[in-house]
Structure 1
């Protein structure tokens, strides 16, 4: 089992900062969700963790590797994004 580690994750769209220096770890075997108001950066954070967008700064790894470098990532990580994300 592997953990998800996010360190100093930042994403900017022009002058708008959607995610600002976020850091967290998710232990193996735990189900985790993000709660917050619209525009808080929840979907953006997940897109960064899954490699769908590139961060302006910081890192997001799963078992020490970026999602794109995982072998059979769909067998290791499950994510449910909003249809608009």
Structure 2
């Protein structure tokens, strides 16, 4: 039986220097669902992504993965729950194909299970 609940983002908010960047965003994704965050520059897309990844902390709200509260967890703990981040940096795995890059990550993931 699979008890995966997916990703739940509840009323996330973030401000910089008292200027709101994200205000009460809530998203619920079931396993296998895919969404896109669309908006103009400065709309908060990157900030929202960084909050989900754990690169920055929200001022308010909560994030759950399969029922686990990950709001304050560091990136390495989120990775153990299936949340990962590969920066858009071409020099990280230079010389490898896309498939080889993915296989490297999968190999690491499988060893940690």
Q: Does the TM-score normalized on the shorter chain lie above 0.5?
A: yes
Query: Pairwise CA RMSD of aligned residues?
Result: 2.3
Partner of 1:6: 9
Structure 2 gap segments, 5+ residues each:
90-113
Alpha-carbon distance in 1 for matches of 2:29, 2:85: 13
1:46·1:81 contact (CA, 8 Å) conserved in 2?
A: no
In the alignment, structure 1 residue 39 sits paired with structure 2 residue 28: no
Question: Is 2:66 the partner of 1:63?
Answer: yes
TM-score computed with the length of structure 2 as normaliser = 0.61
Aligned length: 81
Length-normalised TM-score, structure 1: 0.78
Identify the residue that residue 29 of structure 2 maps to in structure 1.
26
Structure of greater Rg = 2
Specify which of 83, 90, 108 is matched with residue 77 of structure 1: 83
